[in-house]
Amino acid sequence: MAYSDKVIDHYSNPKNVGTLDKASKSVGTGLVGAPECGDVMRLQIEVDQATGVITDAKFKTFGCGSAIASSSLATEWLKGKTIDEAVKIDNMDLVEELNLPPVKIHCSVLAEDAIKAAINDFRSKNGLEELVFEQSHV
Amino acid sequence: MLKLPIYLDHNATTPMDPRVLEAMLPYFVENFGNAASRNHSFGWQAEEAVDYAREQIAQLIGADPKEIIITSGATEGDNLGIKGVFEMYATKGNHIITCTTEHKAVLDTCKHLEKLGAEVTYLEVQPDGLIDLKQLEAAMRPTTILVAIMYANNEIGVIQPVKEISAIAKKHGALFFTDAVQAVGKIPVDVNADGIDLMAFTAHKMYGPKGVGALYVRRKNPRVKVTAQLDGGGHERGMRSGTLNVPGIVGFGKACELARLEMASDTERISKLRDKLENALKQIDESYVNGNPAHRLPHVSNISFKYVEGEGLMMGFNKDIALSSGSACTSASLEPSYVLKALGLGDDLAHSSLRFGLGRYTTEEQIDFTIKAVTDTVLKLRDMSPLWEMFKDGVDIDAIQWAHH
């Protein structure tokens, strides 16, 4: 299977690989997937608590090129958005941007789940109730 | 100057040896006859070529040329050998013993026969990939007609104790079939010394053409018969109808002759390169060689690089190096390699595996390039692996409640 140029680019030059302090109250961490499934994504956001704007985003991913590219692109999109805007990122936007084939759609679902998990982690740390999401479409 | 890409997937298929191609060429346009045409020179020429090739094939495995049934490849050989015995020996019993790491051509054939009334025992393998002979002995029944165990495994290269297996089968009056696709032409295989009754193998895994293979069917002690699975002209002693693929068979014969003459020197050179590759990659932290290292084909190495995923790993160099992964993502299903799982490897290690298959044209320069490319990519991907970070921080990854998709 051939990868799209955008997937190859994110794989070769991933954006925002790294770790934020998960103990910090301004950081939300989402860890999704499972080693048995061949995909684990950890996505972290740092939020300006006064404005709700995501000032930094980092990821680490165990997975195929499409999983790495999905998480890399997600961190790029997250930076500068408010957490309310970030919640609206849809996995199909990632699919479209990266030209993911049908067998790789689950990688984008995982990235969307990671975003939501990170936001909820941030919310619960700051005394806000966790958002309830509908199941993403695979 | 190193030419890219490098081919290290010789368990999937091999390039054809130019000497094989040369032997085949006259049999397309010039000597195109049907080997079954008994009454003119075109047919005689074709028949002569087939007879000669059949001798070359038989000689490689210590068989009589009459025991070689030409097929379209090993999948057909597996089907004909197993289904053919099941049908032919139906009055004697309906029990077949095989193992969980067999090729799909054997496993799915057995599953098909289960629907037709066969009872099949699937032996588990030990963590090193070898079957347990005591388990085999215990699984034998009075109704056992066939033991079907592969000679060498296609994913990890482990070589089963074929002599011991055939002795157990013989003791209990069952036939022994082996899928020897990965072994024939690579290591010495002798149907008499090994006690083999039926054996499937194929040309394209040994520098011959695709689309031609053989089923060895023993003629003496005991005389074995299989029920034909294709009806037609009664070619191949009635066991496999269909006009013979003369150029393919000629190529198969030549490939067998070259393998017989060059096996020792090829093996010595290739196994040195394999060991060099394996020893270098074992230097990477948390890398594990899969399968019994002592009972293994000389040209294969299957290594898991924990905490990186196989397909992601291959993407780092797959424009330069062609090889296979046990990772789920390489196949249409999302399941990782069933062979690696049968060894008791966790899914995480199965997902993290690469299979290196060296061959006749592999050079040291290619191996040096591969060592560097794989090492660099593993290290790069571990830097972006959350599992590697957890492992380094002492987090017990198995204790985490992962959300399964």
- The total domain count for chain A is 1
Residue B341 belongs to domain with CATH number: 3.90.1150.10
Helix (H, G, I), strand (E, B) or coil at A49: coil
- The total domain count for chain B is 2
Question: Residue A137: what pLDDT?
Answer: 52
Are residues B199 and B236 in contact, defined by beta-carbon separation less than 8 angstroms? no
Q: Are B331 and B198 part of one and the same domain? A: no
pLDDT (average), residues B190-213? 98
Query: pLDDT confidence of B397, banded at 50, 70, 90?
Result: confident
Residues of A in CB contact (< 8 Å) with B are: 3, 8, 11, 14, 17, 19, 31-42, 59-65, 67-68, 103, 106, 109-110, 138
Q: Which residues, at least 6 apart from B202, have a Cβ–Cβ distance to it below 8 Å?
A: B73, B74, B77, B181, B208, B212, B213, B214
Residue B78 has, within 13 A of its CA and on its CB side, a CA count of 24
C-alpha span between A9 and A7 (Å, rounded): 5
Q: For residue B108, is pLDDT > 60?
A: yes
Reported ipTM: the value is 0.93
Position B1 in a domain: no
Question: Residue B371: what pLDDT?
Answer: 98
Residue A74 belongs to domain with CATH number: 3.90.1010.10
Q: Which residues, at least 6 apart from B226, have a Cβ–Cβ distance to it below 8 Å?
A: B80, B81, B83, B84, B85, B87, B88, B198, B215, B217, B239
Q: For residue B404, is pLDDT > 80?
A: no
Lowest mean pLDDT among A59-63, A133-137, B383-387: A133-137
Chain A residue numbers with beta carbons less than 8 Å from the beta carbon of B332 are 103
Cα three-residue angle B24-B29-B33, rounded to 5 degrees? 85
pLDDT digits (tens, 9 = 90+) for A45-67: 999 999 999 999 999 999 999 99
Choice between A135 and A19, residue whose per-residue pLDDT is larger: A19
Choose among A19, A63, A138: nearest Cβ to B312.
Answer: A63
Return the structure tokens found at B252. Answer: 């198969």
Are residues B161 and B84 in contact, defined by beta-carbon separation less than 8 angstroms? no
A73 Cα to chain B: minimum distance (Å): 14
Position A130 in a domain: no
CB contact under 8 A, B405 and A64: no
Question: Residue B330: what pLDDT?
Answer: 45
Residue B216 belongs to domain with CATH number: 3.40.640.10
CB contact under 8 A, A64 and B311: yes
Chain A residue numbers with beta carbons less than 8 Å from the beta carbon of B316 are 11
Question: Residue A38: what pLDDT?
Answer: 86
Lowest mean pLDDT among A69-83, B80-94, B325-339: B325-339
Cα three-residue angle B125-B127-B132, rounded to 5 degrees? 40
Lowest mean pLDDT among B90-99, B201-210, B322-331, B360-369: B322-331
Helix (H, G, I), strand (E, B) or coil at A46: strand
Lowest mean pLDDT among B82-86, B287-291, B331-335: B331-335
Q: Are B251 and B308 part of one and the same domain? A: no
Position A131 in a domain: no
pLDDT digits (tens, 9 = 90+) for B300-343: 999 999 999 998 999 999 899 999 987 755 455 667 889 999 99
pTM over 0.90: yes
C-alpha span between B299 and B274 (Å, rounded): 6
Lowest mean pLDDT among B44-48, B171-175, B309-313: B309-313
pLDDT > 70 fraction of chain B, expressed in percent and rounded: 98
State which residues form the domain around B111: 18-259
Residue A136: closest C-alpha in chain B? B405
pLDDT digits (tens, 9 = 90+) for B347-363: 878 889 999 999 999 99
pLDDT digits (tens, 9 = 90+) for B132-145: 999 999 999 999 99
End-of-domain residue from the set B202, B236, B259: B259
State which residues form the domain around A119: 5-125
Q: For residue B85, is pLDDT > 50?
A: yes
- Report CA dihedral (B366, B5, B212, B164) to the nearest 10 degrees: 40
Question: Residue B326: what pLDDT?
Answer: 78
Phi, psi (5° rounding) for residue A45? -125, 145
Task: Taking the CA atoms of A66, A67, A72 and A74 in sequence, report the sign of the dihedral they define.
Answer: positive
Question: Residue B336: what pLDDT?
Answer: 83
Q: Are B211 and B308 part of one and the same domain? A: no
Position B405 in a domain: no
Q: For residue B405, is pLDDT > 60?
A: no
A36 Cα to chain B: minimum distance (Å): 5
Q: Which residues of B223-241 are buried (b: 16+ CB within 10 A; e: fewer)?
A: ebbbebbeeeeebbeebbe
Q: Are B298 and B183 part of one and the same domain? A: no
Category of B117 on φ-ψ map: left (φ > 0), alpha (ψ -120 to 50) or beta = left
pLDDT > 90 fraction of chain A, expressed in percent and rounded: 83
Question: Measured between CB atoms, does B319 come within 8 Å of chain A?
Answer: no
Position B366 in a domain: yes
Position B404 in a domain: no
Question: Residue B1: what pLDDT?
Answer: 83
The overall average pLDDT reported for chain B is: 95
